[in-house]
Amino acid sequence: MNKQEFCCERLEGAYTVPNTFGINFRIVKFSETLYNKLKVIDSLMINKGYVMTSGYINSINDTQTMSLFINNCPFCGQKLSVFYKSDDYVQEIIEV
């Protein structure tokens, strides 16, 4: 894996903290099955999601995890799908 670059230091900090730590930023990839279902709803959908969470223990997909899918960095405004294209950033795969 190459050294990862981030759009800003604040988002890098939220990305690098453990899952259980307060506010964190996660990049997830949708399983092929889930992605195919999402494409029916939105043909422009990409196979990754960018998520802010309040911290979690097991999985970002756990029903008890408070999370918010976002499109732009809340700190610098960067469009996340343009900056974080590589699968090297993916931290979890979301299954159906």
Residues of the chain with pLDDT under 70: 1-2
Question: pLDDT value at position 45?
Answer: 85
For residue 84, the Cα-to-chain-centroid distance in whole angstroms is 9
Q: Which of 19, 29, 23, 28 is nearest to 10 (CA)?
A: 23
- Which domain range does residue 79 map to? 9-94
**What does the alpha-carbon distance between residue 31 and residue 80 come to, in Å, rounded to a whole number?**
19
- Please spell the DSSP secondary structure of 26-91, one letter per residue: EEEEE-HHHHHHHHHH-TT--SEEEEEES--SS-TTSTT--EEE-SB-TTT--BHHHH--SGGG--
Number of folded domains in the chain?
Answer: 1
Does residue 67 sit within a domain?
yes
pTM assigned to the model = 0.87
Q: Is residue 4 part of a domain?
A: no
